[in-house]
Structures are given as C-alpha cells and as structure tokens.
Amino acid sequence: ILPMRIAAVEALALADTLVLDKTGTLTHGRPRLGALRMLNGMDEGQARALVASMERHSEHPLAHALREGVVPLEEEIAVRNHPGQGLEAEHGGAIWRLGSPAFAFAEAALGEDDLNWLRSQVDDGGIVVALGRDGAPRALFVLHDAVREGAAEFVREARELGLSRVVILSGDQPGAVGHLARQIGIDDWHGGMRPEDKLAWIRQAQAEGATVLMAGDGINDAPTLAAAQVSVSFGAATTLAQLHSDFVLLGTDLRVLSRAIPLARLTRRNTRQNLGWAAGYNLLAVPFASLGFINPWLAAIGMSLSSLLVVGNALRLRRAGLPAGE
C-alpha cells in the first residue's frame, strides 16, 4: 500500500463508514462478454462493429470487453458521453445509444420474451449493455466480471475493525449489484447510480457525522474519491482515480487495507503519545532550566534522551506493521 498523502493516515484511523465501488474494486475489472441477443433484425457483425467504434477511445473495463477481437468501422464516429449512463452517436442517419437499457431505449420497447431474458441475465449477476437506434432496441450484450479474491473476507474484517457501515455504490444495474452484494455479505447497496448520486450520498453521510473511507478505480469515481475523508484506489486504476486517492494498493488484495487500518490507528496513538511526552517534558524542564536549577550539560543530555525516547516509541510500530512486501 502506497500513501499518496501522509496526512490521510489519521483519517484512515478514524474511518467508520466504508464505501465501495463494484467494477474494478470488488471485481477484477476485466469483464468478459457472455451472452448476446440481437433484436429487431439487427445483424450481429454490424452491431459489434458499431459498438467497437463507439467504444474505440474509452478506457472503461466494459469497453475493453465489448471491442475485444472486433474490427471497428473504418470511419471515425463522433461520440457524446453521458456520465454514468452511456454513449450516444450519430451514424447512418440515426441516433445510436449504447449503455444501460434505460438509457438506450424505453424498457416498454422490449417484447415479453426479450424482457424476461434480460431480467434472468441480471438476476444471474450479468451486466447488461444495450444498443438502441432512435429509441428502439437493437441488441443486448451480457458481460460477467469475477469477484475479486478475498472480497468477502475483507468485508468481514472491516466490520470486525469497527467500520459500522459497509456500502456498495455502483453505476451498474441494481440486479447485478445486488447479486454481488449477496455473494460477499453486504446488505446495504445501491445500483444504477450516477457520479453525482454517489457524491450526494457521501456528502449526506458526512453531514450525519460519518468519516468515509472510499475505495474505487474508475474515472466516474474521481469526484467521490476526492470528497471522501480518505480514499483508496488500485495501482491498475485510471490515472484520474489515483490522483484523487490518498492511498494506492499496489497489489490486487483488498485485505491489505484491513491490515493497514489497525496500523493507522496505532500510528495515530503513537503520534499523540510522542506529542504528549514532548510537551510534558518541555513544560517541566524549560522553567527549571531557565531558573538555573538544571545545568546546561544536563539539559543537553535530557533533550537527547527525550528525542531517543520519542524515536524508540515510534520504532515500536515496526512490530505491528504490515507483513513483508505489503
């Protein structure tokens, strides 16, 4: 774990609310395309090429999965990004939308069989990306992202450390978020959230007195990472997310964070002990020295011993530190 802002160690020690993103934080962030369903006579090859073109410049994990192994259209397509919802582009005289089903087209536009199929995929934990043309459904893509190893153990350890509230805030479909939450033992979760929704949730929690620890990895997480009292991202996260993070996890195991929290608390207590000792020593010794009751050579020895005591107290943290390599 790499501290980006050392002052955040105290905030980490005081954190009582843990907020987690889903994709790339609780999952590996490497989704794979599973099922797909063409609608209203859409050709699969055309749909995938168009989607690859729309996602050509995106760094989102879902974009990588959607364009993997697909040759995009030759012409460049101008794309407009709707944060937390999807992409919009004009091609062939039509407006195409790619993103959540609610963004791409009206849910009522789906037939009963297609709607039941979509709901079954979401209930199984799939992330559904929809393609719509002028408000009509054209294709459904289902992606799956594996849960990060140790995620459930990390959630359990966080609760044992006294983080009284553990929450998932995600822009993914509520069904997929709920499926993951049940897997790792989180009851408090929210799906379908836009970046501004996440930010509002965090500010409301802070207004109620919470000290928020936020973990995320995407561009959409940058505002919430900046707003939280202490924030964490992975080394593989987007540059923007890392720039707004107080700590960066260089590995892939979230459980490193649950070992860093006790160390932060010990560091805070150790710092307060050292400040207390230094203040008490000087308040007692300086008046006596100024009145001539302590010889200069004795004062010098006392100051050196005081400094050694502070350093020795700080070195005790090495025995309570993270395991080697962390």
Q: Would you please indicate which residues are annotated as catalytic (active-site) residues?
A: 21
Which residue type is seen at 258? S
Alpha carbon distance 180, 92 (integer Å):
39
Q: For 262, which DSSP code?
A: H
Alpha carbon distance 187, 177 (integer Å):
11
For residue 93, the tally of other CB atoms under 10 A from its CB is 6
Among 157, 189, 188, 184, smallest CA distance to 173 is for 189
Torsion angles phi and psi, residue 33, rounded to 5: -70, 130
Torsion sign (Cα): 213, 218, 224, 230:
positive
Beta bridge partners of 20: 168, 215
Alpha carbon distance 102, 135 (integer Å):
10
Alpha carbon distance 250, 166 (integer Å):
23
Which residue type is seen at 135? G
Torsion angles phi and psi, residue 251, rounded to 5: -100, -155
Calculate the alpha carbon distances from 113 to 109, 118, 133, 134, 136 in Å: 12, 9, 20, 21, 16
Q: How buried is 287 (Cβ within 10 angstroms: 0-12 exposed, 13-18 middle, 19+ buried)?
A: exposed
Beta bridge partners of 189: 168
Alpha carbon distance 87, 197 (integer Å):
19
